Amino acid sequence: MIASKLPNVGTTIFTRMSQLAMETGALNLSQGFPDFDGPQALRDALSWHVANGHNQYSPMTGLPALRQQVAAKIQRSYGVRVNVDMEVTITPGATQGIFCAIQAVIHSGDEVIVFDPAYDSYEPSVELAGGRCVHVQLDSQTFTIDFNKLAQALSPRTRMIILNSPHNPSGALISRAELDQLAQLIRDRDIYLISDEVYEHLVFDGVAHASVLAHEELYQRAFVVSSFGKTYHVTGWKTGYVVAPPALSAELRKVHQYVSFCGVTPLQYALADFMAEHPEHIDELPGFYQAKRDLFCDLLAPSRLSFTRVTGTYFQLVDYSQIRPDLNDVEMALWLTREHGVATIPVSVFYQNPPQEQRLVRLCFAKREETLRQAAQKLCGI
C-alpha cells in the first residue's frame, strides 16, 4: 500500500471530460482549449527555429529575448516597467509557475486562502508544500470576493492568498477597487499573493483588466502568473511566465531550476519573434473572443439554459435548472455528453463544499464558428 501524498486527488475533471468526449464523439466544450490553430507566423517561427539549431537548453530564467517581450507587453498593457533580468521568469506552463511559487514560500503548517470555485491545481500544490488550503466562497451569483468572509478566514498562519482574475470558471473580474480593499486588509500582515492572470487579455465589453502588476503595493508581495497558451492559442505549448519582485523571483527560481531547469527553447524563440513582430495580437484578442462569446450566446438564447454573458475568459457558465433540476452538475455533464453530444465541465468540482442548489456547467467558446453552431443546435434541442 502506497502512503499517498495526495490521497484525495484523482484524475482531473478536464482529462475525464475530454476523454469521455472522445469516446462518445461528443463536441468537446469541456477542457479549455481552442479547436483552431495558433497564428501561422508563430507556427512557422517554431519550425524555423527547430530547423536552425535552437534546440539546446535555454537560460534557466528564460530566453532573454522572450523576457524582454514579456516586459514590453506588460508596459504596453499596464504602463509599468519590470526588470527583465530580475523579475521575469519563463516557466513550462503557468501551472508549473504556480507550483514553484507555492513551493518557494509555503512552509509546513502554513495556510493558503483560495476562493471557491478554485482552479484545480492550487490545492494539491499547497498540500505538497505541507500547507493547508482555507477555502473562501465567492458570491454564488456574481463570483466576487466577500471581504467579510475573507477577513474571517485570515489567521496568524495565513501565508498566501491566491487570486484568479479573469476567473476560471465564472469569467468574473477583480476590480481595482477590490485590489485596494485587499491591500488594506493585508497591509500589516506577512502574506504573499499569487495572482493567476492567465486570461489577462481575454476581457470584453471595453472593461480593463486590473492587473496586480499595476498595483504598486500588492505587487511587492506578489507572483503574477500568465500563460502564452491562452494568449497565442497554443495551450499545448505549455509555456508561461511568472513576474515577481527580485527577492521573490530569486526564491521562485531556486525551485524552478530543479523542477524543470528551463522552458522548451525553440518555443521561446518562436514566441519572442511573434511578439516582436505582432504586438497588435493582444489588442485584437478581446474583440476576437468577444465575437465568439456573442455568437455563442445569441445562438443559445432560444435554449432553456439561462446565463449572463461573461466579462472575461473563454468560458460561459450556464444554468440548466429549467432542463434537468433533478441532476447534480456532474450527472448533468455526463448526461449532456452521452445523450446530447456536448461535453461540458461541472462547476461543483472546483469547490470544497459545493452549494447543493447550484445547477451550473461551464462551456468553452474558444471554438470555430461551425463548432459553436453545432453545439448550440444540440443544446437548443433539449
In this structure, the dihedral spanned by the alpha carbons of residues 351, 300, 371 and 286, taken in order and rounded to 10 degrees, is -70
Contacts of 305 (CB under 8 A, 6+ apart): 318, 319, 320, 322, 323, 379
Q: How far is it, in rounded angstroms, from Cα 194 to Cα 172? A: 17
Strands 345-346 and 88-91: unpaired
Draw the binding track, 21-60, toward ligand GLN (x: CB under 6 A; -: no contact).
----------xx----------------------------
Chain centroid to Cα 146, Å, comes to 21
229 binds, among ligand PMP, ligand GLN, none (CB under 5 to 8 A by kind): ligand PMP
31 binds, among ligand GLN, ligand PMP, none (CB under 5 to 8 A by kind): ligand GLN
Q: Which is nearer to ligand PMP, 299 or 343 (CB)?
A: 343
Crossing angle (nearest 10°) for helices 265-277 and 64-78? 40
| Residue 117 grid cell | 470555485
| Residue 18 grid cell | 475530454
Q: Which is nearer to ligand GLN, 58 or 235 (CB)?
A: 235
CA-based diameter of the chain, in Å? Answer: 59
CB of 188 to ligand PMP, least distance (A): 29
CB of 107 to ligand GLN, least distance (A): 27
168 sits near ligand GLN (criterion: CB under 6 A): yes
Kindly determine how many residues on this chain lie close enough to bind ligand GLN according to the rule CB under 6 A: 5
Draw the binding track, 314-333, toward ligand GLN (x: CB under 6 A; -: no contact).
--------------------
Contacts of 21 (CB under 8 A, 6+ apart): 27, 28, 30, 337, 343
196 binds, among ligand PMP, ligand GLN, none (CB under 5 to 8 A by kind): ligand PMP
Q: Contact residues for ligand PMP (CB under 6 A)?
A: 32, 93-95, 119, 164, 168, 196, 198, 227, 229, 235, 238, 240
Q: Which is nearer to ligand GLN, 69 or 93 (CB)?
A: 93
Site residues for ligand GLN per CB under 6 A:
12, 14, 31-32, 168
